[in-house]
Amino acid sequence: MNKNSDFDVVKEIFSWISIIVVAAVIALVLNLFIIANSRVPSASMENTIMTGDRVVGFRLTYLFQEPKRGDVIIFKFPDDESLYYVKRIIGEPGDIIDIKDGKIYLNNSETPLEEDYIKEPMIPEAPMHFEVPEGSYFCMGDNRNNSADSRRWIHPFVHKDKIIAKVIFRYFPGFKMIK
């Protein structure tokens, strides 16, 4: 072997190591600051997101706009912040939420909230009343009859600073935009 071929091998190895390190740093920055990758372990969001689906959320969304009713979010579970949950925002700060006869009523409206995303109508149960505090949100799963959500938690509201990301799409199994 001559010195040129030894140098070319070392140069090639260094080049590959550099590419791998740069790719790892980019992936780390993306995962920590821009996207949130999550697997949904339960049926609480069916039929929007199915059990076992993997979703991607955009961490920067709420730097530019406020969370709004209908957004599907990834957040730290208020009763155990070591867990991340995926639910839909139903109530915004200052909202009054009444749940009666299997329907949701916002701000003393006589007309129930229209929800074309729920899996099936809610099974009626005892009436519930919630007043969403400033800086917080009331969240529910789309599969209302099989969802541990704000109705059931000890701390029923998600504080804005505990929202990790807005879910934008499912990537496994298959691609699907989330509305």
pLDDT band, residue 10 (cuts 50/70/90): confident
Q: How confident is the model at residue 4 (pLDDT cuts 50, 70, 90)?
A: low
Q: Per the structure block, which two tokens stand in for 50?
A: 């199915």
Q: Is the pTM of this model over 0.85?
A: yes
Average pLDDT of the residues of the chain? 92
- Give the pLDDT of residue 140: 97
Scan for tokens 């339960």, then name that residue.
42
Instruction: Determine whether domain 9-177 maps to CATH 1.10.287.610.
Output: no
The pLDDT tens digits of the residues spanning 77-133 come to 999 999 999 999 999 999 999 999 999 999 999 999 999 999 899 999 999 999 999
Q: Is the pLDDT of residue 165 over 80?
A: yes
DSSP state letters, 21-52: HHHHHHHHHIIIIIEEEEE--SSTTTTTS-TT
Q: Show me where the domains of the chain are located.
A: 9-177
- The b/e string for 84-99 (b: 16+ C-beta within 10 A; e otherwise) is bbbbbbbbbeebebbb
Please indicate whether residue 163 or residue 47 has the higher confidence score (pLDDT).
Answer: 163
Can you tell me the distance from the alpha carbon of 31 to that of 86, in angstroms, rounded to the nearest whole number?
17
Active site residue ranges: 44, 87
